[in-house]
Amino acid sequence: MTFYFYPNHPLPSFSLMKKIVLCGLLALAHMLPAVAQQIPTKILGPTKMKVKRGGITSTPPFSIPDFSATYAALIQPDELRLRLATVASDAFQGREAGQPGQKLAADYLAGQFKTTGLQGPVPGGDNPYLQHFQLTRGTYAPGGYVEVSGQRYDYLSDWFSYGPMASPFLTPTVAQPVFVGFGVEQGGYSDYAGLDVNGKDVVALMGEPEDERGRKLLRPSGRPADYWDSGLRKAALAKAHGARSIFLMTFAPAAAFRKQTAELATSLQEPAFALPDPGPEIVDTVAENIPPGIGVYFTSQEMGMQLAGASFNGLLDYVRAVGRARQPVSAGFQPPTARLYLPQNQQALTTENVLGFLEGTDKKDEVLVISAHYDHLGVKHDTIYNGADDDGSGTVAVLALAKAFAQAKKEGHGPRRSILFVLMTAEEEGLFGSEYYTAHPVLPLASTIADLNIDMVGRTDRKHSPKKHFVALVGSDKLSSELHAISEKANRDYTHLELDYRFNVPGEPEHIYYRSDHYNFARRRIPVIFYTTGEHEDYHKATDDVEKIEFDKLAERAQLVFHTAWELVNREQRIVVDSNKP
């Protein structure tokens, strides 16, 4: 119970008894602040003034305890610091998926969930808090080539692979390439119309169709230019049409291409990963990630022309004809057969998502997911990449959220809906942890109301002053207008952060919406909010360490997630899915 005292109200004349009562109430009011701070309240009605004989009395507004504020306050910088000192320590060796350090981190995080009082929801395994699955880790072996029209083009000289490990050419394979123009579709424009590319290897030009004045044919007015320039989006579209690989023809002559490839050689020789069991495939051709099972290869101009069966002048004529027609035209090229070979050294790895479950009350069959990824880059050249911000910050935020909600339940104020806390593995390798979970959920996706995903929330990026208290939100309005409104209200009522939506606009050049684990929920039509503060000078460097984390800001951002989650799990109606924004 909260007492209200209004010192500015004029007091009328009182009898002696009334004065005694008033003095008693005033003394009690001075004793109450410490209690009131423990249980904040929400005011649900206005103060009412009544005129009575002998003076004016006031009826205080009706109020209830504000448990969202009570339990969000449990998320404190010192505890976040203490946990991050463990998660981002050298003992976990950078937490690379499938490596010993990641296993140690998974065991620690599972123990934290158990200690907090969460249930382990994974059935049938050795540890109910761990969801094991397989990854394939591979490197390309020497000797890869493409032979076409009597010419041999060597791997890492005239062409290279990009993205997750592709495996269609482990033995020398004869292929019949198919030229697909720019490899794009929009509205009535389709480079794939009338073509059968199922199981075939397509050749596409980089860039996008333009008219004779250099104006883009397909991009709506004002949209950034990067959309159709993206080779990965073309790969997703090719996969949607059934292609097994796509060769993206750059306009770099052989010498320039080889120079660029040499500059990229170190990164191109890094191990690549694949998910052998991705479950039912969902292809989103607007996404920046590559669907499993398609090889993506960039070629020099000469090699691309050979694969397409085109000359340089023939390509120029084709591009001009498309510009004049403002629609796809027949190229008339006759791609020759090609011989393709790309050997790999492969290793099977096991890795684990870490899950903790808090059962709800009267709406327990509906589930909110709160997620972050706990893996990072591991050890490179004898240097440990600890990933304190990426994503140690999100990991410890999830642990703090879990503890706060568990404490609420312990004290009789648990959520109406259930909450599944998921710490994903293999995000750095291609969002594989969330891809596996959403294909093999331990709780039905149809009952999953939303995913609140936290990735890199412990620093200030280059765009903001260090004095700013902000967080960037991505995806909040893309599938559910109610989710966006709940998030905005939570910030207005409680945290008062600057909400930055620069990563949420269509055509955003860094494609942040597609680059963390929330996206595998979004592509299955589950509303999401992605919380981040963007990249900084230590992003994916060995200098991303604990001492650079701003723990007061990390706590504030985690509290915003808590308040949003509290409303989602306690409101009467499940949020609606009522939009589909790019």
For the chain, the domains span 16-65, 69-134+349-570, 142-342
Torsion of CA 145, 149, 150, 151, to 10 degrees: -50
Q: What 3-state class would DSSP assign to 341?
A: strand
- Which 3-state string (H, E, C) describes 102-124? HHHHHHHHHHHHHHHCCECCCCC
* DSSP strand pairing (498-500 vs 383-385): unpaired
Three-state SS string over 175-221 comes to ECCEECCCCCEECCEECCCCCCCCCCEEEEECCCCECCCCCECCCCC
Q: Cβ–Cβ contacts within 10 Å for residue 493, how many?
A: 14
CATH T-level topology, domain 69-134+349-570: Aminopeptidase (3.40.630)
Residues 429 and 386: their CA atoms lie apart, in Å, by: 16
The residues near 346 (Cβ < 8 Å, ≥ 6 apart) are 136, 137, 138, 165, 167
CA-to-CA dists, residue 29 to 37, 42, 47, 238, 374, angstroms: 13, 18, 18, 71, 48
DSSP annotation of 472: E
Mean pLDDT of successive 10-residue stretches along the chain, which has 582 residues: 27 33 36 44 50 50 85 98 98 98 98 98 96 93 93 94 71 93 87 93 92 77 42 81 91 91 85 82 49 79 96 94 92 94 92 98 98 97 96 98 98 98 95 96 98 98 92 97 98 98 84 89 96 95 98 98 98 96 82
Please report, for residues 8, 166, 171, 266, 328, the alpha-carbon distance to residue 277 in angstroms, rounded to integers and kept in the order given: 69, 14, 22, 29, 37
Residue bearing tokens 């409101």? 571
In the DSSP assignment, the letter for residue 155 is B
Q: How far apart are CA 558 and CA 495, in angstroms?
A: 10
Fold adopted by 142-342: Glucose Oxidase; domain 1 (3.50.30)
Instruction: Supply the pTM of this predicted model.
Output: 0.80
Q: Residue 576: which region, alpha, beta or left (left: phi > 0; alpha: psi -120 to 50)?
A: beta
Calculate the average pLDDT of the chain.
86
Equal CATH topology for 69-134+349-570 and 142-342? no
pLDDT of residue 317: 95
CB neighbour class for 339 (10 Å; exposed up to 12, middle 13-18, buried from 19): middle
Q: Are strands 272-274 and 201-205 parallel, antiparallel or unpaired?
A: unpaired
33 Ramachandran zone, left/alpha/beta (phi>0; psi -120 to 50):
alpha
- Show Cβ contacts of residue 40 under 8 Å, excluding neighbours closer than 6 positions: 65, 66, 69, 70
Q: Return the pLDDT at 225.
A: 39
Q: How far from 501 is each of 200, 225, 423, 505, 532, CA to CA, in Å?
A: 40, 20, 25, 7, 10
